Amino acid sequence: MIEVKGLTKSYGDFLAIKDVSFTAESGEILGFLGPNGAGKTTTMRILTGFMPATSGTVLIDGLDILTNSLEARRRIGYLPENPPVYYDMRVEGYLRFVAKLKGVQRQSLDEAVELAISRCGLEDVRYRICGQLSKGYKQRVGLAAAIIHNPSVMILDEPTIGLDPRQIIEIRKLIRELAKERTVVLSTHILPEVSQICQKVVIINDGRVVLEKRLDEISKEGSLEDVFLRAIAKESTGGLLAEAELEEVEAGRSTSGSL
């Protein structure tokens, strides 16, 4: 479980995020949505302990990411937008290396590597050099590295960006499987992705949370696209301009049939 309370991150006079709060339960996939520059990546970096917040707290299974950083981070599997794969290593060797870094015990190492390879569909490329893999397989290697230590929380930053349609379907299926035993936070700006695999949505705009709801509740108010546009418009600077932009987008949708 993840509990985020009042997160604020400032860089001098600039506030990247402001009083961000939300929760994600065990077994739940939470879609973390927002336009580019809204504060999604900053929030993800704080959740994973990559950098501290200026104020506020993050609890991972009840452990504070700042005061109990080592133990909290042991419970997190993180896949950044660009997986940090060593291109000159073979897949199996890289996963063994990551497993050791993440504290997997020697007696459990072989089992952990085999399970990660199996779950992420890497059997056919286990002896291939990482730099020679397709982008889809590199994403799979990144996911395997993120689950190698059997974390209870997964944080995924734009996991399907740049993939072809077949690879997107495969990665989404894999995320669903992983979420059965874990809490998953999926940061993305792709609305259909959230509609297809998430149970809960948090929308952030201009560094603030503007909506936190379960997807089944959102469906009663309209499509996710409509709810997203309304939430962003309400919080945008210059409300009249934002509403005008929303009407323009809606008009375009009515003539083209899509966003």
Residue 195 confidence (pLDDT) above 70: yes
Residue 238 confidence (pLDDT) above 50: no
Q: How confident is the model at residue 144 (pLDDT cuts 50, 70, 90)?
A: very high
Q: What is the pLDDT of residue 62?
A: 92
The alpha helices in the chain, defined as continuous H runs, are 40-47, 69-74, 91-101, 106-119, 135-147, 165-179, 191-197, 215-218, 224-235, 239-256
Task: Express each pLDDT in 151-181 by its tens digit.
Answer: 999 999 888 887 888 888 888 888 888 888 8
Per the prediction, the chain carries an average pLDDT of: 87
**CA separation for the pair 116, 124 (Å, rounded):** 13
Task: Express each pLDDT in 83-107 by its tens digit.
Answer: 889 999 999 999 999 999 999 999 9
Can you give the pTM of this predicted structure? Answer: 0.82
